[in-house]
């Protein structure tokens, strides 16, 4: 079977070469540097070739990377021409997309920027909320597309991620573990508390917030540890050997039963980006 290379991975690869750094490329393709690094790692895994020589923060193309660059440019030009030709004049909008904050902070700008390039006259409505609330809005026909989290066995799963512990390692030495969580309902909160209670680890909730940005700031400040996926922080997760492994979570994409061509394209772009993370 031929290897399928997602176009967003190729776009990020070309952006790094054109801009000269991960930082500049992340601003061009509207994803974080950590997400960009994961995209390049995924592209190299698919090709089974290293595309860059890495010397600290300095990147230079390998022989395989130099060869791939020319093909990547050709693929992206043809891809964008095809999408533009097929979807021209078919947008009926507005496209209504809802996503959990984890995706919003890493994908929203890049996803909508790509869509806006393809459909400059498009109207876009975006809603950031918890998965349960978003799915309720989808059922009420208030949204067309939903990106959220669900159990690992959810039939709408398009990708999977491991739950991990994040925070300052010195907090693990405290007699009562400080815990930072989102307000319920939250499957990460539930998984963290259940895992700690099953292991008999004493804990106290030191930070409870409805906002992922506040949660990240609290964890960065050393106010507590938390349970999230790799989308949460670029730092390596904590290794807590005496606790049972946290469950996996699925990334789900659900859409309305009927979508106009442009909104269907937005759903496809969302799928491609999430799968590549």
pTM of the full structure: 0.61
State the span(s) of the chain assigned CATH 1.10.10.10.
Answer: 7-87
Secondary structure letter of residue 238 according to DSSP = B
Query: What are the C-alpha distances in Å from 228 to residues 89, 106, 167, 181?
Result: 41, 14, 10, 10
Query: What proportion of the chain, given as a percentage, has pLDDT over 90?
Result: 39
d(CA 125, CA 217): 27
Q: DSSP for 4-37, please give it.
A: P--HHHHHHHHHHHHHSSHHHHHHHHTS-HHHHH
pLDDT digits (tens, 9 = 90+) for 237-264: 888 877 888 989 999 999 988 887 778 8
d(CA 25, CA 18): 8
Topology of the domain covering 7-87: Arc Repressor Mutant, subunit A (1.10.10)
pLDDT of residue 86: 66
State the span(s) of the chain assigned CATH 3.40.190.10.
Answer: 164-246
Topology of the domain covering 164-246: D-Maltodextrin-Binding Protein; domain 2 (3.40.190)
pLDDT, mean over the chain: 86
Q: pLDDT band for position 102 (50/70/90)?
A: confident
């Amino acid at each position: 079977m031929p290897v399928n290379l997602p176009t967003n991975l190729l776009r990020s690869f070309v952006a790094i070469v054109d801009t000269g750094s991960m930082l500049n490329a992340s601003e061009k393709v509207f994803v974080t540097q950590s997400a960009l690094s994961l995209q390049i790692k995924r592209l190299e895994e698919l090709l089974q070739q290293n595309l860059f020589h890495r010397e600290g923060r300095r990147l230079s193309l390998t022989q395989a990377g130099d060869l791939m660059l020319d093909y990547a440019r050709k693929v992206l030009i043809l891809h964008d021409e095809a999408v533009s030709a097929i979807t021209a004049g078919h947008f009926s909008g507005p496209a209504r997309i809802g996503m959990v904050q984890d995706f919003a902070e890493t994908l929203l700008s890049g996803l909508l920027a790509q869509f806006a390039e393809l459909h400059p006259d498009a109207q876009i409505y975006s809603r950031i909320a918890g998965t349960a609330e978003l799915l309720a809005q989808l059922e009420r026909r208030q949204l067309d597309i939903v990106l959220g989290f669900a159990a690992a066995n959810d039939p709408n799963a398009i990708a999977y991620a491991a739950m991990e512990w994040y925070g300052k390692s010195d907090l693990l030495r405290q007699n009562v573990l400080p815990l930072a969580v989102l307000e319920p309902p939250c499957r990460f909160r539930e998984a963290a508390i259940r895992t700690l209670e099953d292991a008999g680890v004493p804990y106290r909730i030191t930070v409870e917030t409805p906002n992922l940005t506040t949660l990240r700031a609290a964890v960065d400040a050393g106010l507590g540890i938390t349970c999230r996926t790799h989308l949460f922080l670029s730092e390596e997760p904590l290794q807590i050997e005496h606790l049972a492994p946290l469950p996996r979570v699925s990334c789900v994409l659900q859409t309305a039963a009927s979508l106009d061509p442009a909104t269907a394209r937005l759903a496809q772009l969302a799928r491609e980006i999430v799968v590549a993370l």
